[in-house]
Amino acid sequence: MAAILQLDKVTKTYRKGENEVHALVGVDLSIEPGEFLAIVGPSGSGKTTLLNIVGCLDSPTSGGVLYNGTPLGGLKEDQLSEYRKKHISFIFQSYNLIPVLTVRENVELPLVIERKLSKPEVRARADKVIAEVGLAGLEERYPRELSGGQEQRVAIARALVKDPYIVLADEPTANLDSRMAEEIVDIMREINRTRNATFLFSTHDALVQKHARRIVTIRDGIVHSDERK
C-alpha cells in the first residue's frame, strides 16, 4: 500500500543558547493509511518534534516530509494552514479546548474554519461525533463544566469531526487516570477501525502502547526500533 506519509532523513536541530540540540537525526519513516501507530521514547527524545513536523507546525532543518507523495517543504504559511485545515487533526495532552466556546462550538470549530459545509450540516456532523464519543446531552456545556476525561473526548470529537486523513495525538492520555485513559484509547481505536483514519500518537503510557498496532521507539532523535504487531 502507498504511504500516506513519508519522512525522508528528517533532521531537526535547535539552538539553545550556545548549544545545538539535535531533536531528530535523519529519521526515515513510512506510514500507511489507517495505521494506529505509537511513538514512544523517554522525555526529550524527539517524539513531540516528530509530530509537529508531520503536522506542519514545525519545519525540519534538513530532510523532507511527503504527504501522499507531495513534498510539504517550501509551502508558504497560508498553504501550511490550508494543509492543516484539510488533512490533519490534533489531540493535545492538555486538551486545549477553547474556553469561551461550548462543547458543540468547540467540535464545530474545524468545520467552521474549513467553510465547506452549511450551518445545519456542520451542526449535524458535530452532534453525530459528540454522540460517538459518548457526550450526547452535554453539547451546551462549557469546558470548565467538564471532567478531564470529558474534555479529552471533546478534543477527540473536535479532531475527528472533519474526517481527517491523519490524527496526531501528543500524549493524549497523560492527564487521565487509567480507567479514563482506557476509554479514550478504545474510542480512538474504534474510530481508527471504522473511519480508517491514520493515528500517530506519542505516549509513555504502557496501556496505550499495548493497543498500538505499530510502535516506533525514538531515543536521542534517532529511530531505535520499529515494531509491527
Partner 1 sequence: MGTLFKIAWRNVWRHGKRTALTIVTMAFGLGLYIGMDSMLKGMDRGGLDNIVNLSDSSVRVTTSKYEEERGSFPLEYGIDDPAALESSILDDPRVMAVGMRTRFVGSMSNGTDAIPVLAVAVDPVADAKVFTLPEFVDGTWFGDVGERQIVLGSGLAADLGLRLGDWVTLAARTRYEARNADDFRIVGLIDSTEPAINNSGVYVSFEDAEGFLELEGLRTEVVVKMEHRVNLKDAMADSDALAARIEAANPGLSAQSFGEVGRQFLELAKAKSKGVGMIIVVIMLISGVGIANTILMSVYSRVREIGVLRAFGFTPREISRLFLIEGGIIGFVGSVAGMVVGLGLDLYMIFVGFPLESLFKGVDLGMPIWGTLYGEWNPEQFAVIAVVGILVSLVSSRSPARRASRMEVTNALRFA
Binding site for partner 1 (CB under 8 A): 52, 55, 57-58, 77-78, 81-82, 84-86, 89-90, 92, 94, 96, 98-101, 105, 109-110, 112-114, 158
> Phi, psi at residue 95, to the nearest 5°?
65, -50
Q: The cell 504511504 sits on which residue?
A: 3
Distance (Å, rounded) from C-alpha 83 to C-alpha 56? Answer: 8
Which CB atom, from 81 or from 225, has the smaller least distance to partner 1?
Answer: 81
Which CB atom, from 73 or from 207, has the smaller least distance to partner 1?
Answer: 73
Which CB atom, from 84 or from 215, has the smaller least distance to partner 1?
Answer: 84
> Phi, psi at residue 107, to the nearest 5°?
-70, -35
What value, to the nearest 5°, has the Cα angle with vertex 221 and ends 216 and 223?
Answer: 30
Tell me if residue 135 falls in helix, strand or coil: coil
Measured from the CB of residue 167, what is the shortest distance to partner 1 in angstroms? 12
Measured from the CB of residue 191, what is the shortest distance to partner 1 in angstroms? 18
Helices 119-132 and 103-114, packing angle to 10 deg: 130
Distances (CA, A) of 211 to 55, 61, 187, 192, 206: 23, 33, 12, 12, 9
Instruction: Please give the distance of CA 110 from its chain centroid, rounded to a whole number.
Output: 14
Measured from the CB of residue 161, what is the shortest distance to partner 1 in angstroms? 10
Which CB atom, from 78 or from 179, has the smaller least distance to partner 1?
Answer: 78
Which CB atom, from 1 or from 17, has the smaller least distance to partner 1?
Answer: 17
Which CB atom, from 18 or from 77, has the smaller least distance to partner 1?
Answer: 77
Distance (Å, rounded) from C-alpha 186 to C-alpha 194? Answer: 12
Measured from the CB of residue 97, what is the shortest distance to partner 1 in angstroms? 8
What value, to the nearest 5°, has the Cα angle with vertex 88 and ends 82 and 89?
Answer: 120
Measured from the CB of residue 220, what is the shortest distance to partner 1 in angstroms? 20
Measured from the CB of residue 77, what is the shortest distance to partner 1 in angstroms? 6
Residue type, 196: N
